[in-house]
Structure formats: C-alpha cells, structure tokens
Structure 1
Amino acid sequence: MTIISQGEELILDKERALFLPKHQLLAISDLHLGKSAHFRQAGLQVPATIAQTDLQRLSWLIKQYQPETLLINGDMFHHGLNTDIEEFSIWRKQYQELNFLLVKGNHDRLSNANYAEMGIEIHEPSFCLGPFCFIHDALQCTEDELYPISGHIHPGVTIVGKAKQRLKFPCFYFGKEYAVLPAFSLFTGLYNIYPKTSERIFAVTPKSVLEV
C-alpha cells in the first residue's frame, strides 16, 4: 500500500517493511536475529529455520525494491553472538554495495567492532532523513521538528470478522505524533493497538496491507 506522510510517499509492504522511494531507503524494525538460537541455548525447542526464513524475506525485499540503503530501526540482534548471527554475517556478503544502517535498540548489545566487521553502520539514538526521525522508541525522540518513525512495541491490531471471529495481525501505526513499524521477525509477539480518531492503522495480512 502507498500512503503520503509528512508530504512524502511511503510504501507499506506486507513483508512488514517500509520503503521510501525518494530516498531509495528500505526500513524494517525488530529483526531480532539470534533470538531463536538464544532460546535453543537455553534448552527451548525453537526451530533453527526461523532466522533463515527472515533472511529469505529480507532478500526478497532487497530484490523487489533495489534500495541503496537498508535501515534496521532497532533490535537487529536479540542478544550476543551465536549461530544465527554467524549465518547473517555470511548472508550479508551478498550485498556489498548496499548500505546497512542500524539505529540501536534495547537488544542491540554487540560491540562496535562486531558491527563494523559485518559492515553495519551504527546510529545512536536516531537516524534522521527528510522530515523523518528513525528511532527505536518514539518516546525518546528529541527532534521536535521531525516526525519519529519507531519500532520496539511490535504493534498489532485485532479485526473482527463477519462471523465474529477475531483475527490479530501485525500493523503499521501512523498517529499525529509518531509512527510505529511492525516487527519484521516472525518470532515475536504483538502489542494490541486500539486506533483513535485521526490515527491510521494498516493491518499486515498474509496477502496484503489493509487500512482498518
């Protein structure tokens, strides 16, 4: 779905990503690579294919939009170094010409040397572009003249069907004060958003993005 925000065109993709055509920038939030491996290390039976699936989806987005820059808006890595992050490091080598930017989130705890080794440029606490301020937690934004685009809360929305069945989907949230991107990783929970007047909610369904 294509929308206009702050006078600029934005594309909301059903793979839980945001593309800014004017800036050739693809943005995602809450990738949480390493989360499944971290849980497996703790003895929980979590499939090893979760990180692979998320990276395949990201490859599809890069092929689809051909961005100059990929921005991860916080929580790129869930914890410390593990096998999932080693897999990302190998995957990253396919995209030597693509700029990788990370706005640090609360789970991003690797050393600057680790990020540099993987070709990731760090921005903390935010990365500002045009009228937007990309920051992991919108409540921490101090750029008063810019519109924050955040992540962090893993927003979701509940839709009631004709048979009164309740379906919960990830969503994009665009309010008066700030926007929130859906969590990119499929291995995350959802925080339910209840839209108010003047707020726009876009549900991410398996087939499309729908305004609700």
Structure 2
Amino acid sequence: MTITSQGEELILDKERALYLPKHQLLAISDLHLGKSAHFRQAGLQVPATIGLSDLHRLSLLIEKYNPKTLLINGDMFHHGLNTDIQIFAKWRAQYDQVRFLLVKGNHDKLTNADYESMQIEIHEPSFCLGPFCFIHDAPKNVKEELYPISGHIHPGVAIVGKAKQRLKFPCFYFGKDYAVLPAFSLFTGLYNIYPKVNERIFAVTPKNVLEV
C-alpha cells in the first residue's frame, strides 16, 4: 500500500516493512535476531528456524526493492552473541552493496566492534532523513520539526470479522505526532493500538495491508 506522509510517498509492505522510494531506503523495526537461540540456551524448546525465516523474508524484500540502504529501527539483536547472530553475519555478506544502519534499541547490547565486523553503522539515539527521524522509542530526543518513526511496542490492531470473531494483526500506526512500525520478527507479541480521531492504522494481513 502506498500512502503520503509529511509530503513524501511511503510504501507499507505486508512483510512489515516500510520503503521510502525517494531515498531508496528500506526500514524495518524489531528484528530480534538471536531471540530463539537465547530462549534455547535458557532451556525453552524454541524452533531454530525462526531466525532463518525472518532473514529469508528480509532477503525477498531486498530483492523486491533493491534499496541502497537498509535501516533497522532498533532491537536488531535480542541479546548477546549466539548462533543466530553468526548465521546473520554470513547472510549479511551477500549484500555488501547495501548500506546497513542500526538505530540502537533497548535490546541491542553488542559492542561497537561486533557491529563493525558485520558492516553495520550505529546511530544513537536516532537517524534523520528528509522530514523523518527514525528512533526506536518515540518520541524521545527528536528535533521538533521532524516526524518521528519508531518501533519498540510491536503495535497490533483487532478487527471484527463477519462472524463477529476478533482477529488480531500487526499494524502500522500514523498519528499526529509520530508513527510506529510493526515488529518485523514473527516471534513477537502484539500491543493493541486504539486509534483516536485523525490517526491512521494500517493492518498487516497475510494477503495485504489495509487501512482500518
């Protein structure tokens, strides 16, 4: 789905990603790589394929949009170094033509040397481009004249179906003061968003993105 925000065209992708055509920038939030491995280390039986599935989806997005820049808007890695992150490092090597940026989130605990070894640029607390300012937990530390785009809360919205069943989906939120991206990882919960007047919610369904 294509929308206009702050005078610029934005593409909301059903794979929980945002694309800015003017800047050739693909943005996602809350990738949480390493979360499944971290849980397995704690003795919880979590499938090892979760991280691989998310990376496969990200590969398809890179092939689809051919971005110059991939921006991860916080919580790229869930914890410290583990096997999932080693897999990511090998995966990242396929895309040396793409600039990788990370706006640090509360789960991003690796050392700067670890990020540099994977050719990931670090930005704290935000990365600003055009009328937008990407920051993990909006609206902190953002210049007033810019429109913050955040993540962190894993936004979701409930939709009532024809049979009065309630279905819950990840969503994009665009409010007066800031926007929130859906969590990219499929291994996350959802925080219900209840839109107010003049706020826009776009549900991410298995087939498409639709405004609700």
Alignment TM-score, normalising by the size of structure 2: 0.99
Aligned residues: 212
TM alignment of 1:110-189, pairs within 5 A: 110-189=110-189
Q: 1:135-177: per-residue Cα shift (whole Å, max 9, x none)?
A: 0011313310000000000000000011110000000000000
Runs of 4+ aligned structure 1 residues displaced above 4 Å come to: none
What is the SS of the residue equivalent to 1:141? coil
Partner of 1:202: 202
What is the SS of the residue equivalent to 1:89? helix
Q: Unaligned regions of 5+ residues in structure 2, if any?
A: none
Q: Is residue 2:99 matched to residue 1:99?
A: yes
What is the SS of the residue equivalent to 1:138? coil
Distance 2:66 2:114 in 1: 26
Q: 1:50-108: per-residue Cα shift (whole Å, max 9, x none)?
A: 00000000000000000000000000000000000000000000001100000000000
Shift of 1:211: 0.2
Distance 1:115 1:140 in 2: 24
Shift of 1:183: 0.1
State the one-letter code of the partner of 1:115: Y
State the one-letter code of the partner of 2:138: A
Alignment TM-score, normalising by the size of structure 1: 0.99
State the one-letter code of the partner of 1:30: D
Partner of 1:45: 45
Q: Is residue 2:76 matched to residue 1:64?
A: no
Q: 1:154-210: per-residue Cα shift (whole Å, max 9, x none)?
A: 000000011110000000000000000000000000000011100000000000000
Give the aligned CA root-mean-square deviation in angstroms: 0.4
What is the SS of the residue equivalent to 2:32? coil
Percentage of pairs with the same residue: 83
Q: Is residue 2:97 matched to residue 1:78?
A: no
Distance 1:86 1:191 in 2: 30
What is the SS of the residue equivalent to 1:139? coil
Distance 1:60 1:169 in 2: 21
